[in-house]
Amino acid sequence: MDKMNKRELILERYPEDEFMILPEEFDDAIIGMAERCGSNPVLAYDRDKVIEVYISEGMSEEEAIEYFEYNTIGSYVGEGTPVFVCVPNSMW
């Protein structure tokens, strides 16, 4: 049996209609699910890895950060909106 990727593992455990999944090019940025009292679980992405994807698509670092802050973090799409985490290993 093939090793399942993060997206497949999450979809196996959580119904997809409960949360938003970013496009597949962000799969390497998935770090898990985030849960809190009174809310459905949401996907958690590594902030820096998402920005790296934007850079790999041709944006400068400055453009990627601005795009991320305005269009990614700045977009609320309901209760299933993912969270973006500053992962300590990528910070230091």
- How many domains does the chain contain in total? 1
Q: Whole domain around residue 90: which residue ranges?
A: 48-92
Asked whether residue 33 is domain-assigned, the answer is no
Whether residue 91 is contained in a domain is answered as yes
Model pLDDT, residue 92:
53
Q: Give the pLDDT band (50/70/90) at residue 83.
A: very high
Distance separating alpha carbons of residues 10 and 80, to the nearest angstrom: 14
Is residue 25 in a domain?
no
Q: What is the pTM of this model?
A: 0.81
**What is the residue-averaged pLDDT of the chain?**
85
Of residues 54, 5, 11, 2, the one with CA closest to residue 27: 5
Two tokens at 64?
């990627």
Higher pLDDT pick, 56 / 87: 56
Tokens 């997206």 sit on residue: 7
Separation between Cα atoms, residue 50 and residue 61, nearest integer Å: 12
pLDDT reading at 70 higher than 60 = yes
Residue 9 inside a domain? The answer is no
Answer whether residue 19 is part of any domain: no
Q: Tell me if 44 sits within 8 A of 34, measured CB to CB.
A: yes
pLDDT at 69: 95
Q: Is 12 part of any domain?
A: no
